[in-house]
Structure 1
């Protein structure tokens, strides 16, 4: 919902260039050096390509046992892994009408573009390839999915971000399940998949495609939230309009019971979203329009690294590599 009379953000070339220039400066200054090595990312770990074998040592992952060598030598061996020389990252970006909403520092749409810029910056170096699929609204109303092929290089990444920022939205909600499934078909090389959305669509719609995606790729889900989606302020009668359907509603926010029920329903909805993301095996990053999103990304990266160092998080089959080839 957005306040009645408010208009969604306009997507003009001048505004796009100004926003992207500022984003590039912010991301470069604050995220450069955050992760060291040739391959950087939010899900650090060993490589995914098979390498040489060595004798088993206590603490080695038994899932990497090299049984043929073990049988020949009668001593347990494990297979080392090396990093892929080229990482392929795909972004699934939800730009449905519900993203044209914001009551704090920025619109949710602007935060989606910022998150996409940060993910692109973290993965594009070293000849890595970045591509995107974008959902622009309800397919029944003439919208659909825009595909941008994965290409290496910073210039290509900047062109991709300009295209994302200039993509307009149409009425209706994108089919988030179909958007995620666009990364499953056709099958792509193993890599990283980043899904950026407010995830307001019913979890049964997108949960299964996300689980299928996580079988082959490392998945990062970036959830974009505005504080007014979590609780209502006490401002009397508030006229709001649904950006996806155009329906107008009047809400009496002075009623404390209404505000309490709203907050409880919103908390339950977010808990269901978090549960579905965990069940799919996706890393979950929540960004809010009223907080420092770059600081949230830095904290998320540090938390992921610390948890894996201490062994408190089950390491998934990784595709992003910390420290380059091993």
Structure 2
């Protein structure tokens, strides 16, 4: 009899096979490539190039921007960094944590099909679980098992995203990797700097998981709401138009702050909501990543 993580992986594999057929670029890689470190040549800079590859010495001598080209590895190491803090357990439908876990498992399976190694960092504010990178389906199943395990301890602190990202930087320091960060980015400010440092070393894909109720409060009448991070409770009249308008404005301001922090960190974040079809969102993410590569 198969267990729950194995059934989940089988289900996702079936959906991946149908929905992503023909979207992989080659038999050994996905649209996310490995990143070799061997310098091979210089060429003129184009607007699509990563500014981190600009050779500033040559640029200064020739008074024209040039970028370094590197030999690309046929094998890569990918990491799934999954925020499992209290705020991720909020949400309608499957909830933010479930969506993040399913995406991580799907991406891990997608990448591992080319023989690439995949690891995971699961952070829940109390402790972190690290799954060292390995290749193969059994490794993806191990990640699925860890990602779907119940978090037994609760924290009364807001998510320390800085600590999560610093842990990711320390854990992945040995080799340039492809790092997926999956979080709602609800936590203490200041995480943009460690995210920028992680981006400087690795290719980073940020997936921000959001519930629609966080963007616009639904009219549910008088309800008791609880802060998932701190446990603070408050009685709220969601039918009050003034309150709903104020919360919508606050949500908009927070979206702008998050977008500014992502830009500061040099990351183009993918936003996925809990009411989206997860595989459709993944296909769209593959398309967007592929367009940026060309």
TM over 0.5: yes
CA distance in 2, matches of 1:52, 1:125: 28
Determine whether 1:189 maps to 2:168. no
Determine whether 1:147 maps to 2:147. no
- Among residues 132, 139, 144, which one is paired with 2:120 in the alignment? 132
Determine whether 1:242 maps to 2:232. no
> Which secondary structure does the structure 2 equivalent of 1:123 belong to?
helix
**Can you give the 5+ residue segments of structure 1 that lack an aligned partner in the other structure?**
1-12, 68-76, 138-142, 310-326
Q: CA deviation at 1:250?
A: 1.0
- Among residues 198, 201, 213, which one is paired with 2:187 in the alignment? 201
- Among residues 260, 273, 277, which one is paired with 1:288 in the alignment? 273
Corresponding position of 1:318:
none
C-alpha distance 212-247 of structure 1, shift in aligned 2 (>3 A): same
CA distance in 1, matches of 2:45, 2:78: 34
Deviations 1:99-145 (A, max 9, x none): 11222x311111011111122123213321111111123xxxxx211
**Can you give the 5+ residue segments of structure 2 that lack an aligned partner in the other structure?**
59-65
Corresponding position of 2:36:
48
Q: CA deviation at 1:212?
A: 0.7
Determine whether 1:160 maps to 2:143. yes
C-alpha distance 247-14 of structure 1, shift in aligned 2 (>3 A): farther
CA distance in 2, matches of 1:250, 1:15: 37
Corresponding position of 2:79:
90
CA distance in 2, matches of 1:59, 1:161: 40
5 Å-filtered alignment, 1:1-326, equals 14-37=3-26, 38-42=28-32, 47-50=35-38, 52-53=40-41, 63=54, 81-103=70-92, 105-137=93-125, 143-172=126-155, 173-186=158-171, 187-204=173-190, 206-309=191-294
Are the aligned partners of 2:159 and 2:186 in contact in 1 as well (CA < 8 Å)?
Answer: no
> Which secondary structure does the structure 2 equivalent of 1:41 belong to?
coil
> Which secondary structure does the structure 2 equivalent of 1:183 belong to?
helix
Deviations 1:158-182 (A, max 9, x none): 2222222115253224422111111
Q: CA deviation at 1:292?
A: 1.5
Are the aligned partners of 1:135 and 1:176 in contact in 2 as well (CA < 8 Å)?
Answer: no
Which structure is richer in relative contact order (CA contacts within 8 A, separation 6 or more)? 1
Q: TM-score, normalised by structure 2?
A: 0.83
C-alpha distance 298-169 of structure 1, shift in aligned 2 (>3 A): farther
Q: Considering only CA atoms, is the larger Rg found in Structure 1 or Structure 2?
A: 1
The alignment covers a number of residue pairs equal to 278
Q: TM-score, normalised by structure 1?
A: 0.76
> Which secondary structure does the structure 1 equivalent of 2:216 belong to?
coil
CA distance in 2, matches of 1:125, 1:295: 20
Deviations 1:43-79 (A, max 9, x none): x6x953336559x689797947997xxxxxxxxx997
C-alpha distance 58-266 of structure 1, shift in aligned 2 (>3 A): closer
